[in-house]
Amino acid sequence: GENVEQHPSTLSVQEGDSAVIKCTYSDSASNYFPWYKQELGKRPQLIIDIRSNVGEKKDQRIAVTLNKTAKHFSLHITETQPEDSAVYFCAAISNFGNEKLTFGTGTRLTIIP
């Protein structure tokens, strides 16, 4: 089955700086890669996603890049703000019809004011 690894497990950045979280996946058939933000005790919220037919996607301060050859994808947050502090999970789906999400281990992002 799919295995998703995520690094780093914790990340602290100064407010206004950029944050980068990286994930690798094992199943070359994976074709959809969402990123979730989870605040303490709450549900994961989809913040951005990318499909395997594109290499990069951007939504305001958030961007995701995908390297299919290397089987890794990254989340980039620019101009970080205190409200960006949360746990971020990457995920992969090996078959969109099946839609069985495999999550990464999570990154606790702390924005230092």
Partner 1 sequence: GAVVSQHPSWVICKSGTSVKIECRSLDFQATTMFWYRQFPKQSLMLMATSNEGSKATYEQGVEKDKFLINHASLTLSTLTVTSAHPEDSSFYICSARGVFGQPNSNQPQHFGDGTRLSIL
Residues near partner 1 (CB under 8 A): 32, 34, 41-46, 49, 89, 93, 96-97, 99-106, 108
* Nearer to partner 1 among residue 97 and residue 113 (C-beta): 97
Tokens encoding 78: 């620019």
Cβ atoms 94, 100 nearer than 8 A: yes
Work out the angle at residue 67's Cα, subtended by the Cα atoms of residues 66 and 68, and round it to the nearest 5 degrees.
105
Question: Smallest distance, Å, CB 7 to partner 1?
Answer: 13
Question: Smallest distance, Å, CB 36 to partner 1?
Answer: 8
* Nearer to partner 1 among residue 76 and residue 103 (C-beta): 103
* Nearer to partner 1 among residue 9 and residue 67 (C-beta): 9
Element (H, E) at 11: strand 10-14
Question: How far is the C-alpha of 109 from the C-alpha of 17, rounded, in Å?
Answer: 12
